[in-house]
Amino acid sequence: MNYSTNAQSHLTIDGVDAMTLANTYGTPLYVYDVSKIRQTMRAFKAIFEREQVPYVVSYASKAFSTKAIYQVAQQEGIHADIVSGGELYTALSAGFNPQHLSFNGNNKSWEELTLAVTKGVGTIIVDNFLELQWLGEITAAHGVKQNILLRISPGIAAHTHEFISTGQQDSKFGFDLLTGQAKRAFDLATHDNNLTLRGLHAHIGSQIFDVTGFEKNAALLADTAHHWGWEPEVINVGGGFGIRYTNDDTPLPESAYAAAIIQTLKAKADTFGWQMPAIWIEPGRSIVGPAGQTLYTIGARKEIPDLRTYLAVDGGMGDNIRPALYQANYDAVLANNPNAQTAEVVRVAGKYCESGDVLVWEQALPHTQPGDILSVQATGAYGYAMASNYNRNPRPAVAFVEDGGHQLVVERESYADLVALDRDYELASTPQA
Ligand code: LLP
């Protein structure tokens, strides 16, 4: 991994000293390098522009949903994908153009769909028959037309962790292709005057490193539409582009995935005599993952001779559950001296009451002391997004850094926040004699 340092030998993030951030905002602290986020957003767009194909890059905001990130996405001219009323509300609160939102999810409620339709969400990605029926009723009741895509289970098993693989046939997402459900949904959607079916969607999984799954997915969606005798305006191949968490990961550049999808669909459009459909992609992790890191303060250590040394920090599974949930690996760096000679191999553990509360399984580090600052790298995706108040720990703050400047974009939760929604139990005031 490459780190930038300054004259004090401190880690820097887009020109800002990590120690300044830790001192200013406290730890644990999520820090995002906004220049890096913009670069990735631009890299995705650039390849479509170069190939001169119609496209939409829609940031899968489940990876990290805050007002600030919707504002950056909007500034960069990219769309956003949402999967709940809460993400929709956050995007709207940020001033995000609802026309540039797409709404995914396998069990959207009547209320969520009503909110989406009435707020003018650009595209609803319909996942099941109940939703198709409800959308028909809601749009009719409000006298509006709604653009939709149909989500298909493509039956493509991507090589990734079972829990984050979504494209295989045995999946709760989307209309099954192999048993004719997708065609039935197509017939229903095209006969509903309030719904405008613009295309098909399929997502094969997450943290994927090779292009063949994306090519197969794009080809399958095009073939399916052609088989139905239909020329779609949109082919949405989802997200899932892998990133580097440690040096064991070898992702391709953004442009390689996009280029493979473009070539596949250009060939299909040629063969079928179609206008080039708009290619939609939904990258989440690849946009925010590498741009984020988490700063922790080192506390207690436990040495078990001839076995292992545990180094505990002031956060853990409440701010990053991915190691506990997916055995995910991360790299850590000593922020107050990243280039110091390494002296020992440790396991970085959190402060939560659970043995699986690990942040880094194995890490060579310099000698450290309580009070040192450790940065766990590439935590920008599904870290804050999946954070919890387990053990009644407040969730950390989030800081954005850009070109030497820094700003808090999510406040640290306080103890008062933790009990803000609690209510005293009235009946508890009558003790038994
Ligand atoms: N589009 C759809 C329909 C999705 O289901 C997902 C992720 C994405 C896009 C974005 O995928 P990405 O580009 O971020 O890989 N919590 C897990 C990841 C779950 C991903 C679920 N769907 C993790 O921490 O690895």
pLDDT in tens, 89-103: 999 999 999 999 999
Confidence of residue 428 (pLDDT cuts 50, 70, 90): confident
Ligand 1 centroid to residue 284 C-alpha, Å: 6
**Contact criterion met (CB below 8 Å) for 313 and 332:** no
Which pair of tokens denotes residue 364? Answer: 């060579």
Residue 165, pLDDT score: 55
Residue 169, pLDDT score: 79
Ligand 1 centroid to residue 396 C-alpha, Å: 22
Per-residue pLDDT at 159 exceeds 60: no
**Contact criterion met (CB below 8 Å) for 295 and 18:** yes
- The arithmetic mean of pLDDT across residues 133-137, rounded, is 98
pTM: 0.96
Residue 187, pLDDT score: 98
- The arithmetic mean of pLDDT across residues 195-211, rounded, is 95
Which pair of tokens denotes residue 288? Answer: 């925010």
- The arithmetic mean of pLDDT across residues 114-132, rounded, is 98
Domains of the chain in start order, with CATH, are: 4-32+289-419 (2.40.37.10), 65-283 (3.20.20.10)
User: Rounded to 5 degrees, what are φ and ψ at 282?
Assistant: -130, 65
Write the DSSP symbol of residue 206: S
User: Rounded to 5 degrees, what are φ and ψ at 376?
Assistant: -95, 125
- Of ligand 1's listed atoms, the one at least distance from the Cα of 382 is 24
Q: What percentage of the chain reaches a pLDDT higher than 70?
A: 96
Cα gap 198→176, rounded to integer Å:
19
Across all residues in the chain, what is the average pLDDT?
95
User: Which SS3 state, helix, strand or coil, does residue 24 take?
Assistant: helix
- The arithmetic mean of pLDDT across residues 101-121, rounded, is 98
Cα gap 199→147, rounded to integer Å:
9
353 is catalytic: yes
- Alpha helices, DSSP H only, in 120-253? 129-142, 181-190, 212-227
Residue 137 half-sphere exposure, CB side, CA atoms within 13 Å? 10
Write the DSSP symbol of residue 223: H
CB neighbours of 227 closer than 8 A, spacing ≥ 6? none
Which amino acid, one-letter code, is at 82? I
User: Rounded to 5 degrees, what are φ and ψ at 37?
Assistant: -60, -45
Ligand 1 and 64: CB distance under 6 A? no
**Contact criterion met (CB below 8 Å) for 128 and 172:** no
Per-residue pLDDT at 421 exceeds 90: yes
**Contact criterion met (CB below 8 Å) for 396 and 30:** yes
Residue 27, pLDDT score: 98
Beta bridge pairs of residue 376: 294, 332
Ligand 1 centroid to residue 195 C-alpha, Å: 27
- The arithmetic mean of pLDDT across residues 386-414, rounded, is 98
**Which strand (E) or helix (H) includes residue 48?**
helix 34-51
Neighbour-count burial of 418, counting CB atoms closer than 10 A to its CB (0-12 exposed, 13-18 middle, 19+ buried): middle
Residue 178, pLDDT score: 86
Per-residue pLDDT at 158 exceeds 70: no
Give the mutation target among 62, 103, 207, 237 for probing the ligand 1 site: most ligand atoms within 8 A of CB: 62
- Alpha helices, DSSP H only, in 310-405? 322-326
Which residues contribute to the annotated binding site for pyridoxal 5'-phosphate?
240, 282-285, 382
Cα gap 110→135, rounded to integer Å:
8
Which amino acid, one-letter code, is at 231? E
Per-residue pLDDT at 406 exceeds 60: yes
Range in 248-262, 312-326, 349-363 with the lowest mean pLDDT: 248-262
Ligand 1 and 205: CB distance under 6 A? no
Catalytic residue among 353, 405, 411, 419: 353
Beta bridge pairs of residue 33: 401
pLDDT tens across 247-282, in order? Answer: 999 999 888 999 999 999 999 999 999 999 999 999
Residue 333, pLDDT score: 98
Cα gap 88→424, rounded to integer Å:
32
Range in 77-81, 165-169, 215-219 with the lowest mean pLDDT: 165-169
